[in-house]
Structure 1
Amino acid sequence: MVDIYNSISLNYGLPAGGEDIDTFAGNLRLTKAVGGEHFLALGDDEADNALSGEICYLDDEGAVCRSWNWRDGQRTMLTEHTKNAFLIIESVDPEREDVLEAATQKLAELSEKYLGGTAQVLLVTKENPEISLD
């Protein structure tokens, strides 16, 4: 899974990441952190909590990813036991919407082909600020 989204990130020049949906506590939100939301980064032994105003993916237990999806956390990381993954590709450049669309479609295609699951492509935008991960 990680190799697939990393290859998409490199090929399309967009940040990509992934989290285990089944580890989320409550709803996942992309928002500005208040500051101090608990976060333990991959490979770290000590917490490095979110900064005030930092854009993070948050759930009810703290930060899932920091600096958009740049810093992944240990609590929600993908593992060999992951059954339900939340794969993220981000772009804030409206001139690259076609690249974002191509990247998300390719990510879905490769995930279904090599992982044997089903993929659903959902976009969060200013006009569509909320999605359901059912």
Structure 2
Amino acid sequence: MLELYQAEGCPHCAKVRDKLSELGVSYVSHTPRLPGGEGGDVVNRQAYDELLALGDADQIPFLVDHDRGVRLYESDAIVAYLDGQYDGSREARTTVEVHKPTENGLRGTVAGVAGRLLQVVR
């Protein structure tokens, strides 16, 4: 199951929603707060608390792929991940490499179909 923490009116979130629609992927959308670089007003306290608990940052868009154990920030990273995992026309798939936990949490990298490295927060 995919969950997207996002806000209407946020162009970065729209980019991710557009990609999900283009790929025909089902997802659950949460709107924890209004858009804004420093964080907009909280409009859904439960979704906001989940966002912070799952990702440790007040940043949107934030995608959680529960089936693959992946959590991503940044629209470009999310779009590349979705292309690699959910675009059936691609031969190569995205691989996820998870490293040992650090004091800042579990970190890893995602290598996309174009070979681009992306930060993953798990």
Same structural fold, with TM-score higher than 0.5 when normalized by the shorter chain:
no
Quickly name the TM-score band, shorter chain normalised: under 0.3
With normalisation by structure 1, the TM-score equals: 0.24
With normalisation by structure 2, the TM-score equals: 0.25
Larger strand percent = 2
Instruction: Choose between structure 1 and 2 for higher RCO, CA contacts under 8 A separated by at least 6 residues.
Output: 1
